[in-house]
Structures are given as structure tokens and as C-alpha cells.
Amino acid sequence: MEKSSTDDQLMSLEVLHPNAAGIDIGNAAHYVAVPPDRDTEPVRRFGCFTQDVRAIADWLKQCGMVTEVMPATPDTGEETQSVTDDRAQVPNNAGKVG
């Protein structure tokens, strides 16, 4: 498979927040990503129950994350933000991306 110019552009992007995790909030699962040098499995799938959200918080703390980014929608992510903030002391910098 050949590398595209898009691949080269992505590889040259400057990392502004190396201790930030990304969380994709879903109805059936949450996907969480940390920088690839923080864990051998840098993208993980978690369930949506409180125990799963607590596992996200524990993993983020273990990976040294100091902030998280998730979609900012009125009804999405409130429980996740609350539990991750309380359990791991990870401040949420959720905002509209794009």
C-alpha cells in the first residue's frame, strides 16, 4: 500500500497537548484513545455503564492523561465527564471540534 500525501501531512502535525485523550461517546460503547506511546493498546472500547466509565477514568490516569476531549452535545457525555473528573481528576476540555 502506497503512502498518500495526506499520510505525510498527518505525520507532520505538531502535537499541542501530548497528555490529552480523546473519547467518542456512543449509545452502545465509548471509544477512548491515548497517545500511542502510553499503552500497547492505545485505542480501547468500553461499555456505557458506570463501572465501564470508572474503568475509563482508571485507564486515563494510568496513561498519564491530564485532559480529555469529547464531543460537546447537550445530552451526551455528562455522566462520563462527571465520573472521569471525579475519579481520575482529569479536567474535561470538551468543545466543538471542527
Residues 35-46: pLDDT tens digits? 999 999 999 999
Question: Taking the model in full, what pTM does it have?
Answer: 0.67
Q: Is the pLDDT of residue 83 over 60?
A: no
Under the banding of pLDDT at 50, 70 and 90, the label for residue 30 is very high
Cβ burial, residue 67 (10 Å; 0-12/13-18/19+): middle
Question: What Å distances lie between residue 32 and 1, 4, 43, 59, 77, CA to CA?
Answer: 27, 26, 6, 10, 13
Q: What is the mean pLDDT of residues 31-55?
A: 94
Cell numbers placing 93: 476540555
Cell numbers placing 11: 505525520
Q: What is the mean pLDDT of residues 16-23?
A: 91
Q: What number of helices (H) and strands (E) belong to the chain?
A: 3, 4
What whole-number distance in Å separates Cα of residue 26 and Cα of residue 48?
8
Q: Is the pLDDT of residue 56 over 90?
A: yes
